Every structure is written in C-alpha cells, then in structure tokens.
Structure 1
Amino acid sequence: MIMPSSLIVVFYIIIFVTGLPANLVALWAFLKRVRQPHPAPIHILLLNLTLADLLLLLLLPFKIIEAASDFHWYLPEVVCATVGFGFYSSIYCTTWLLAAISIERYLGVAFPVQYKLSRRPVYGVVAALVAWITSFGHCTIVIIVQYFNSTQKATNIEVTCYRNFTQEQLEVVLPVRLELCLVLFFIPMVITIFCYWRFVWIMLTQPHVGAQRRRRAVGLAIVTLLNFLVCFGPYNISHLVGFYTKESPKWRVEAVVISALNASLDPLLFYFSSSTARRAFEKRLQVLQGPGSSLLGLRDRGSVEVTNRVGGLSQVEGAPSSDFTTD
C-alpha cells in the first residue's frame, strides 16, 4: 500500500463531508422535479445518479473504520460482503447512468424537435433500471468470492475484507474483474466520450446558442470526463493489471479511494446539467451566506432569468431550450 492508512481516512472523510450535503440537496431538488407531471428522462437519470452517490456515501463510514484499523476487518463477515457489494455496485451503476445522461444530452441537441416529441419518462426509468440491475448483477462476485474457499477463519492470518485472496479465489475474481472493466467501464466511457464530443461540437458551432449555455456544455463534458478518467480510470486499470499479473495490485487500495471521489464530483455535474439543481444549490448557498445575501440572490436570479429569456429559442424553431432542451 502506497498511501498511509491515516491519509486514506482523511480522504474518505473529505469525500463524505463534501459529497453528502451536496447530494442531499440534489436529491431534494430532483425528487420535487420528478413528482411534477411529465418529468423529463434526464431528471429521472439524475435522480438515480444521486441515489447511487448517496449509497456510496452512506457506506463510506465502514470504509473509514476499515482504513482506521489499518485494513484489518473487525466487523462481521456479512457486513464486509454487504458493504463491498453496495460500494462497488454504486460505482458501476454511476458509469452507465453517466452514459445514459450523455446519450440524452446528445439526442436533445442533435435532434431537438424529434426528441421533444418522442421523449417519455418511461425511457428514463428503463435506462435507470438497466443500470442498477447490470451493476448489482455483476457485483454479486463480491459476495460470492468473500465466501468462496475462504481460509481466513481457518488460519491465523489477519482477517481482511475483500483483500487477501486464495489462489482459488483469484481464479474466479480476476477474470470477472476484467469483464467488469470492459462491460461496465470501457463501453460506457466510449459511449460517453462520443456523445459529449458531438454534444459540445453542436453547442459551440450553432450561432443561436448563447455563451452561458456553451460554458455549461463544456463544463458538463469536462466534469463527466474527469469522472471517468480520474475517478474510475485507475480502479479499472487495476483490473487489467491484476488479470495480467495474476494478483491484485498493491495500489488497488488507493484506486478505490480515488473512485469514491466521484460522489463529490457529481454535484458539479448536476449544477452544469440541470437548472433545477442550480436553483437548489443557489438557494442553499444563500441560506448559508446569511441575511446579507438576500439582495445578491435576487440580483443573480434576475440576471439568470434575463439570460434564459434572451438565450432560449422557441420549440417551434427546433432549437435547444435554456437548459439543453430538458428543463
């Protein structure tokens, strides 16, 4: 292990403290939005992305306890299996939800009229269900391996959680990790890169698109790309290295820590992606800033409304609305 366990604890705490409040605000905003008549598929997808982040964040205290114990596992084995199952499932659910969001964004700007006429909430529900079922179905390997030919109870070696594998366990887990990397990381990443490349190109080349929406489009693409490359990249590369070397890389612990960072990055994606989330975040910031921010908040809100009225084009003209055709 390259990083000291105490530093890992600090990183996990920072992710928890920054990610939990922001995702709770986003959850409140998206729940209100999807309860309205005819919610857009994007808000259903963003709501599910928030739920995946919250699942990871709620399991972080167990990872903090594990790191604080120098990765000795003193809790019951069933807790280890459950925490690992939920933690890794949330990561891979996020990758496919990000891919689904990128597809929705691309279709919304590439085919605005057709998309507005054909979009249905059920599409968002189906895409979210596929992401949850696919990720949780694949990550059952965490539970299977934890109980498959385990020698930790029968010997005096230190008890760890999903770390010290027997040779028989490695013969099962390494090929499955490779499949996880290919199906749940590389495929959604390729889809996401293509969709956002087209999405940003359209937003930057259309003369009727305002500067504010162009900035949001670029910001959305950058945050999503950072999620894949910075957060999920090292963790999934560890799967490739492990399959090649026939053992789990020693730096895999650090890669898992970095992967959890996506729960703190996703609120930025919510901000760039949805005016519903932006209004919710701005409202909470005004409350934190105190009474003196009231006038500033009114001024900012007014400027946003003016920009939206100037920047947005009518649906009849087939141009994107003030928030990428969805709000």
Structure 2
Amino acid sequence: MRKLFICLLLFVFFISGTLQKKGKRTIKAQMNCSKAVPQPRTFKGDPVSWIKYTLNGTQAPISTHSHSALQSLSNITIEYLRGPLSTRVIPIFYMLVVAVGIPANIAILCLLVTKVRKVSSAILYCSLAVSDLLLLISLFFKAHYHLHGNHWVLGEPACRVVSACFYGNLYCSALTLACISVKRYMAVVYPFTYKSLPKRTFTAWVSVAVWGVFGAAIIPELLVEQSYWLPELNRTTCHDVLPLDYSSHIFLLYYNLGLTVFSLLMPLVVTVVCFARIIRELSRSHYDWAMYIKASSLVFGIFVVCFLPAGVLHFLHYLQLFVNGAESLYVYFNLAVCLCCLHACLDPFLFILMSKSAGSKLYVMTFKGKTLSISL
C-alpha cells in the first residue's frame, strides 16, 4: 500500500508538471492582465454587463429574461452543449440506468421491509437503496434537460434541487459502500471486537453521519444560482456553465474539491484497504469463504469502475483549472459521471450476494483452538 501511495503521488506530480508546462504562457498572460482567480468546476462564462445582446441580427433585451445571462463561452463549451454527446449519448445512458435501477432498488426496499434478518445490515442497505433512488429520480430530470438540447425549462429552484440530489447522492452512496466494506472488514479481521459491538446502534449513527454529509453536500448547491441563460446559444443551462467572478461560485470550488477528496477518494482508499485485508484473512481459512469474497469483490469493483474515474477526473479537472485555466476535462468528467451513476444498478446485486451469504457463518479459530462464528 505504501508503494501504491508513492506511485499515486508521483503520478499526480507528473500530471501537474505536464499541465504546468502546457499552461505556462497562459498563466503569464493572465498575470499580466489581472490576478489569477479560481474557477468553478463546470464550464465558465462571464456575466453580461450590457442591456442588449445581438442575436441573429436582432437585439434581445436581457432584462426581459428570467435568468441571469452569461457570455464569452469557449469553443469546447459550445461544441459540448450543441454536440450529440451531451444531447443524445448521455441522456440515453441516463434513461437506461433509470429504467433498470428504479425497479431494482424498489424491489430491494420491499425485501428489506418484509424479510429483515439482520437489522444492522438492513439499515445500511436501506440507506443505500434510498440514496440510489434519489439519484435515479434526479437522472430522469437531467435526461430531460439533455434531450432538449441542454435547455432547462423547469425553473431555477428545480435546477438547484436536481443538481443537489445528483451530486449529493453520489457522495452518499460512496460513503455507504465504504461503511459496508468496513463492517465486513471488522467481522473478518477483528471478529471478537465485532461480536461485542452494539452493531445496531453503531450502524444507525453511521447512517445518520452519512446523510449528514449528504446535507452538507447539497446546501451550497441549493443556495447558489445554478441556471443561466446563454444568449450565444439561446438556451438556459443547468449547472453546466457558471460565472467566473462570483464569490459564491469561487467558494464552491474549494468546497467541492474537499467533498471530492473526503467523500470519493478517501472511501476508495478505505475500500481498497479493507478488500486487501479481507482477502488476506479469508485465504488463511479452511472454511468456505467464496461468497464473502464475491461480495467484497463486487464492492471493490463498483468503486473501481464507477467512482474511481469520476473522482480522479474531478481532481485533475481542478488541477488543470488552477494551472492553466483550461476546462477541457469537464467533458470527460461528465462521461465519468455516467459510469458513476451505473452503481445505482449494481447495488441491488450487492444486496442479493449479501443475502445469499447471510444464512452461512464465517468461522474464526481462537487462540484456544475453539471457533467463533460470525454472521455478516
């Protein structure tokens, strides 16, 4: 793990040096004009400061539009908002995830309510299913937005709520999966401690803490304006383009970066460590541990496939913004977020695997030659 951590640091420094070299001229130009200012995680635009804006040869009064206006869009922003990637590929993927994920998670909730064997496990899986459902509902509105040419027609309050639920539940799901990994890690590596813990109380408080992180993640998104009219494209975007010089949005940069590190990257590290220790401990056992390995492997796979690309690209996007002000990685980040949403379809299979292993027990040898049975 120490070697892996050193390699990760070297990789980040390498990327930082590469971006620094590419953006050297850009940074000098910015320093000559004005002091460098941090930018939001999305595409950026400048607030329109004049009364009328020329559109298709005619002047459209800004004051008659219900949303604030942004201008000076980059070519990357325009291509993304007009292109088939954001108007066809991403929304179709979202709708497929919604079509599979909503029935699956509703079925899991029904099973949890009617057939509860272990309350502590049921609390975690119920929390995960509710989080997935909120994410899937927000995906439905985001698909509607993309299919309409990235034009938001549901108003500013709805945009704030959808953006908040979308990102907040990504963090909530990642933390819940990490908690499931820690629970299984404790049962396998420290069985005596796990056996003596008040698991229901601990699990309930952990779930409350996770949803507290969800609340902390959505509050800034609810307080800050998210939808803006783009006169250059004659459409209103939701969260995709934000102003550069608004102090509230500058605050979001640091806030979202902290959430990325503590709610995506740290749960990933925790899951990797737990997975490695579980494999190591179970490989020493003479009993059947295949089902536990499959369940732990699925949690690990969900993190690697779904959360790792989004977390790394989100971090590198911020790094690129700081170094040379470029925003090209936001396109790839949106693609990674599509993979991230896929976990809402995979989590029900995790519950099924856990349920299959619930009837059997893990046996751990004690120092006196006796065995201790642990139900996960």
Tell me which amino acid in the other structure corresponds to 1:273. M
**Structure 1 residue corresponding to 2:285, chosen from 206, 209, 220:** 206
**Structure 1 residue corresponding to 2:238, chosen from 147, 155, 161:** 161
| In 2: Cα distance, 1:223 partner to 1:312 partner | 18
| In 1: Cα distance, 2:232 partner to 2:223 partner | 20
**Structure 2 residue corresponding to 1:252, chosen from 333, 338, 347:** 333
The question of 1:132 aligning with 2:211 is answered: yes
Report if aligned partners of 2:102, 2:133 keep a CA contact under 8 Å in 1.
yes
- Superposed, which structure 2 residues align to 1:184-223 within 5 Å? 184-207=263-286, 209-210=287-288, 213-214=289-290, 216-223=291-298
- Superposed, which structure 2 residues align to 1:105-184 within 5 Å? 105-146=184-225, 152=229, 158-169=235-246, 170-184=249-263
Deviations 1:176-196 (A, max 9, x none): 221111111111111111112
Tell me: CA distance 1:76–1:270, structure 2 relative to 1, closer, same or farther (3 Å). Answer: same
The question of 1:31 aligning with 2:108 is answered: no
Structure 2: gaps spanning 5 or more residues: 1-79
- Seq. identity, %: 24
Q: Under a length normalisation based on structure 1, what TM-score does the superposition of the two structures give? A: 0.77
The question of 1:241 aligning with 2:316 is answered: yes
Tell me: CA distance 1:315–1:30, structure 2 relative to 1, closer, same or farther (3 Å). Answer: farther
Tell me which amino acid in the other structure corresponds to 1:201. R
| In 1: Cα distance, 2:170 partner to 2:362 partner | 35
Tell me which amino acid in the other structure corresponds to 1:146. E
RMSD of Structure 2 on Structure 1 (CA):
2.8
Question: How far apart are 1:80 and its partner, in Å?
Answer: 0.6
Report if aligned partners of 1:112, 1:318 keep a CA contact under 8 Å in 2.
no
Report if aligned partners of 2:275, 2:297 keep a CA contact under 8 Å in 1.
no
Please name the residue that 2:139 is paired with: 60
**Structure 2 residue corresponding to 1:9, chosen from 84, 87, 91:** 91
Aligned residue-pair number: 283
Tell me which amino acid in the other structure corresponds to 2:280. W
Q: Indicate the structure with greater strand content.
A: 2
Question: How far apart are 1:123 and its partner, in Å?
Answer: 0.8
| In 2: Cα distance, 1:318 partner to 1:40 partner | 24
**Structure 2 residue corresponding to 1:22, chosen from 84, 98, 104:** 104
| In 2: Cα distance, 1:230 partner to 1:172 partner | 30
Structure 1: gaps spanning 5 or more residues: 279-304
Tell me which amino acid in the other structure corresponds to 2:305. V
Q: Under a length normalisation based on structure 2, what TM-score does the superposition of the two structures give? A: 0.68
Tell me: CA distance 1:66–1:320, structure 2 relative to 1, closer, same or farther (3 Å). Answer: farther
Question: How far apart are 1:124 and its partner, in Å?
Answer: 0.8
Report if aligned partners of 1:235, 1:256 keep a CA contact under 8 Å in 2.
yes
Structure 1 window deviating more from structure 2 (109-118 vs 66-75): it is 109-118
| In 2: Cα distance, 1:94 partner to 1:250 partner | 23
Question: How far apart are 1:28 and its partner, in Å?
Answer: 1.2
| In 2: Cα distance, 1:314 partner to 1:179 partner | 39
Tell me: CA distance 1:13–1:112, structure 2 relative to 1, closer, same or farther (3 Å). Answer: same
Question: How far apart are 1:261 and its partner, in Å?
Answer: 0.7
Please name the residue that 1:291 is paired with: none
Q: Give 1 or 2 for the bigger CA radius of gyration.
A: 2
